[in-house]
Amino acid sequence: MQTQPILVIGATGKTGRRIVRTLTDQGYSVRPGTRSAPIPFDWDNPDSWAPALDGISTAFVSYFPDLAFPGAAEKIEGLSALAKDMGVARLVLLSGRGETHAKRCEDIVRASGVDFTLVRCAWFAQNFSEGYLRDPVLAGVIALPAGDVQEPIVDVDDIADVAVAALTDLDRHSGELYEITGPRLLHFSEAAAELAAASGYPVRYQPITLAQFHAAMTEIGGAFIADVFTHVCEEALDGRNAWLGDGVQRALGRPPRDFAAFARRAAMSGAWPVAA
């Protein structure tokens, strides 16, 4: 077992906190990469990077808020170069399917000279239970600019399991690109039906235009946030990702978790409390 700490950048995010929990349960030393950690890590403060990387073995790299944001590639490049100089054994990059900017960041890590594993992920199931689509589930309407596109929605627990394997088993996963998806393609109307069955709420899917999505996001986060996430949706929800990846099977030797099982587990954990 590795004795040096494992750095988890984004340790409080959906994926990061699962990675931290699993690594800790398995007895590994974990260094959380957050602004409030004992050794802080802040993407907007490059002076914080070297102390966070000092003495670690491997690092999970999750960029907040998204690799599509301006400046993300430059920061990934700077971090990768520093990791090489400091002797980090492996970088495990969390990436998104079908996103131009994410692909650019993957290429930067590939060319960095550091051993790497790329974890390229489909749409997160947990967006509906602990992300920005939880409130729409509770309200009964999931509005997205996805038309009738199918998506291989992935359970974040699978992403975390693959990342943990890549962070801890240096004899495997070197130079691998894992396409992490669920086991089947779903229309968002089918996902809504699964959520309704598990939660007890009358959830339905409402297709909207990109312009409508942009307007809604502008109200929530302002024009800049709306521009970025509308562009991501325009790329990732145009049908290019409507195929299944084998990343979970290749990395872990087992099939990925199904969306219906995710929905049942989330409901049992109280993600969507039943109104009294």
Task: Output the CA–CA distances (angstroms, integers) from residue 234 to 52, 176, 210, 240, in the order listed.
Answer: 35, 27, 7, 11
Among 33-37, 80-84, 130-134, 146-150, the range scoring the smallest mean pLDDT is 130-134
Domain 6-123+155-181+242-256 annotated CATH 3.40.50.720:
yes
Is residue 273 exposed (0-12), middle (13-18) or buried (19+ Cβ within 10 Å)? exposed
Among 10-19, 62-71, 72-81, 119-128, the range scoring the smallest mean pLDDT is 62-71
Q: Convert the pLDDT of each residue in 127-180 to its tens digit.
A: 999 988 999 999 999 999 999 999 999 999 999 999 999 999 999 999 999 999
- The pLDDT confidence band at residue 9, using thresholds 50, 70 and 90, is very high
Are 82 and 58 in contact by the 8 Å Cβ rule? The answer is no
Find all residues with CB under 8 Å of 28, minimum gap 6, and list them.
1, 2, 6, 168
Of 80, 86, 251, the residue nearest 162 (C-alpha):
251
* 143/213 Cα distance (integer angstroms): 8
- Mean pLDDT of the residues in the chain: 96
Task: Output the CA–CA distances (angstroms, integers) from residue 41 to 30, 35, 171, 187, in the order listed.
Answer: 14, 5, 28, 38
Ranges of beta strands (E only) in the chain are: 6-9, 30-33, 58-61, 90-96, 116-121, 141-144, 150-151, 176-180, 186-187, 204-207
**How is residue 63 written in tokens?**
């960029």
pTM of the complete model: 0.96
Domain ranges within the chain, ordered by starting residue: 6-123+155-181+242-256
Instruction: Determine the pLDDT at residue 275.
Output: 55
Residue type, 30: V
Average pLDDT over residues 43-58: 98
Strand partners, 23: none
**Residue 20: φ, ψ to 5°:** -60, -45
